[in-house]
Structure 1
Amino acid sequence: MVLFSPLLNAFEQAYAPIRAGKATIFLPFELIPEKIVRLSTKRTGDVSQLAWTPVWEADYYVVEHYQGGQWKTVNDKVLTSFTSTAQTGPFRIKSCHRYGCSSWQQNAVTVDADLEVQAFYATSSQVEPGEVFQLHWSQSGATAISVTKSVNQYTTPALTMKSPSLRSLSQSINYVTKYTLTAYGFGGQKLQREVVVSPLAEVRTIEQALPSNYPQPLRELGLDVIERTIVEHNGSLYFATHDDKLFRYKSQVIQSARGEKDITWQKEWVLNTAGVVANAPVFNDGFAYFTVSMMGEKGKACKVDINQPGTPDCSKQFDSNVIAAPMLIDKAQLNATASSLSQSSFFSSVSDANEILMNGLYVFQRNGTIKVLDTDDLSTELKTYIMPPQAKNVLTKPLLIGSVELVRAAEQSTQFAKHVTEAVNTVGSGPQLIYREGNKLLGIAFPKSTPQSESVTQQMSRMLGLEAVQSTSQGSQTMQVVWEVEL
């Protein structure tokens, strides 16, 4: 039997024991590790970085590059799932152990984005024992991903190292379970995100924030608050929790005999939302508008009277989760904002917006569909837009050029303001959404509506001086990326 030597490419022979009566014989068979699923490459300066999905039974990896019409060895014994070299591609790689090597993987994927995990969540934070639910995540710049689950301090794999193109996982639980997503990048870099799912029969333990010198008004409430949903409006705090509820709290100032002031928070109302509210509500004319994600990849938009809360008024269910907050467009408010603020480059498209956009609640579904709903009746769909393919997984609300939100974002980041100003001045006017996908900012233009001839009913209404009923759109319009910049 030849001893294993990677330099000589000599391997041991694998044998399988076979029972034959009372005797055991050993038959030779081929035993090689699995082929690497994905090879990722990235050029940084004069260095080529390589990373790949590891193979659990591999002892080492062999890397080669193609030059001068032949494959040449870069490293014949890489002990990690990543390496770097001054050589340029194409590259190929195979996994090996003492019995042999897999076939070559040479279909490399070029990765340009920096490693980032935008979201990791479950379709519901509380489920019936044994009920199947979905874990979802969004990332950029990853070369591999894995998911583990922890129950009572015991951690086991829920998903072994897989290609980062995978974005969801079906699970079921009987006990409180913490899931940890790990996204791997080049050079051994990795990022982790966690989510906890509880069976309805158990009470989830909520980790309290540590006291600090900063105001922490929600710390003592004992609620499992989704932090990104917290928003202040007219002196009240609104926020959602992981158990499918939306709260409103009011602050009260209590003055002691010594003249010291203490602020306490009193619950004014709570709504059952029948799904997760993942982002902060938006407000207009005494109503709070919010989106809800439900099990089964469903979603909806709702509104509630903030002063007389009752059963929320909701849209029809969409065939996609709705993670991003909705966007209210009121052309009168856009015009007022444009005339009162001085950032002219951010408001050059307001006049065009008056002609192209319509008033309504713009709901951004995760699959890239935008539904424009009538704010008076959310069950009425006024128009449908389709985001371009560059916006692959819509989890956050885009910013509308001409909106106050865009001005606030520009005030917080001079780099962001510079990128947007230069892009808008170059491309020209027209209503656009600013959306971040990975490490890129995308300028996405609304298509110009095709004029439609009036129906007989509309003509008669106009002639008689009656208010014409606005017709709903037929079909959908696809939006286009008109500019993009690297962050």
Structure 2
Amino acid sequence: MKLLHFIGLFLLSTLFIPFAKASTFEQALSPIRTGGAIVYVPIELSPNHPEYFSIKPQDDSHLLAWHFEDDAHFYQIEALVNGQWQTLSLNVTTAFYRVPLSTGAASYRIRGCHNYGCSDWKGSNRAVTEETDINAFYADNIAVAKFQSATLNWVVQGASAVSITSNRGANYSNLNPNHGSLSIDVYQETTFTLSIADFNGHKKYTEITVGVIPERVVNKSTKTEHIQPLYDINQDIIHKTLVAFDDAIYFATHDKKLVHYRYEPDAQTESKWQLIWERSLSGEISNPPTLYNNKLYYSVSIFGGKSQVCSLSLVLSSQHTCTQVKQAQLYASPIVVDTTSLPQSHLSWLQKIGITPIESQAVNGIYVFYANGDIALHALNDLNAQPRSFAFPQSIQNEVIDTPELFIGAPNTNSAGWLQFAVRDGSRLHGLQLPIAQSSNSLIERAMSLFSFDDAATSQSQNTQTLNQAWSAEL
């Protein structure tokens, strides 16, 4: 009891100690537990001061503005006049204030106050001249995996305060009033609203929505009496992507991997198919990769309408190259055209029927077929070099989903001997001629072209060319 009596007297005395706040403020108390009782002791408590205190010059005044902190009730503003701080207002309840130029102020300072006291003074730290507007507000990804973060970015002008709120209850205030970024964890689809304030209490808004990539539910097929060699390897295979080469298979999975298995007949395991390597992907592969010169070439479709093309060495899987991610949908696999490695049987067949093999030569390179009909032609040995641009003719009306087939035009047709792409377009099939590496008129030039062909790396840059349609037929 004596202890409680002493604490009570101490609390009463603190109301009159010299360092107490002015009589207009209350004493802040904080509960503590001592023994079996809870008592309250005095503490110093003040609100936050504005991080940004901005000035916008006008013809006859200075407009002052700041972010109104949640724990502040009002603001006090002073001006530096003739080297002395003079009070402009002791009770500003808005986030802006107008000062006539006639006051002769050289600079300003502000502090926030509430029932228990005031913050430290904050001097003006930025001048603004532009009109208030939102230039950009975007996220680095429009959808992220659950529990992953999205980075929000903004660029504004003429703002005195910037904040971001979400429809999930989040509130991020006192942000950089010019530009900045903010990383936020996203657990479900969330709409973020950017709010900026001018110097007269008006605000502008814009919003973006970030989705969450749904989790994939994998249902394994039923075991049957038929031979199912890959059933027990426990991979969620995209069966359309499977490529077999020698005693090895390569395929993509729904969980964004490229996988290599090899058949080992002497393996001391239940399954003779042994995992050699796995490579994580930035998206999914929709069609079988293309095999060329001990490399796999494949297209990756990335969530949000993005894509890229990659190559992977079969000899050394660490040798992996990809193009920059492009804002374009891509499903078809690349087709590699190398006229120097056409099968000799094809060339002999052409010669026997009176067609000069030169006529079948096309621009070498890696042809990439985007869903919208655009074609990028990359160099054979450098995916990162600037590609040439081609396009399908307007007669092809549907998106390119399947990989076109490469073949040589048959005899007694208008395109005999020409390399062509067979492209499926709904219920029709189109034959498109590949671009020719060079046109030669003389016999010498034509003979020389047998030994030297232009390719995507050496061809001169040009505008987008449309491939010629050789034929079209209903399926």
TM-score (norm 1): 0.47
Structure number with larger C-alpha Rg: 2
TM-score (norm 2): 0.48
